[in-house]
Structure 1
């Protein structure tokens, strides 16, 4: 039951760090933009439902906040 291996534990292919960094950067960008869109959607829903803006007011608020978010987070 006791196996002693003399070689290295990890013998797989070498890691492609450039591709890993590109994937991580893409993940971070997706998380940033996705979070911004969800927050803007929730704020637009509050403006439309609770502040009396209605459907058009919420939609207008969504468009304005998205434009501001894209400008500020680029």
Structure 2
């Protein structure tokens, strides 16, 4: 027969909810800024490779979009 448990069945150390929330917040921030970085990089590469602006034009597009994204996400 199945055993009956009276009380908590938690094993191991208790959860550290403050640390869990900090880790989750860090993950969300990394996902947001990482996404902005990749979008800016792709648009900068598009401007650099497929237009006549070249490397410096693509770099300028990347920097403008990346800085604007960071400012808008705060």
Please tell me the TM-score bracket, short chain as reference. Answer: 0.7 to 0.9
Residue aligning to 1:57 = 57
Residue aligning to 2:12 = 12
Shift of 1:22: 0.4
Distance 1:60 1:67 in 2: 11
Q: Does 1:42 align with 2:42?
A: yes
Name structure 2 gaps, 5 residues minimum: none
Name structure 1 gaps, 5 residues minimum: none
1:5-36 per-residue CA deviation (whole Å, 9 max, x = no partner) reads: 44454322110111100000000000000011
Report the count of equivalent residues.
72
- Runs of 4 or more off by more than 2 Å in structure 1? 4-10
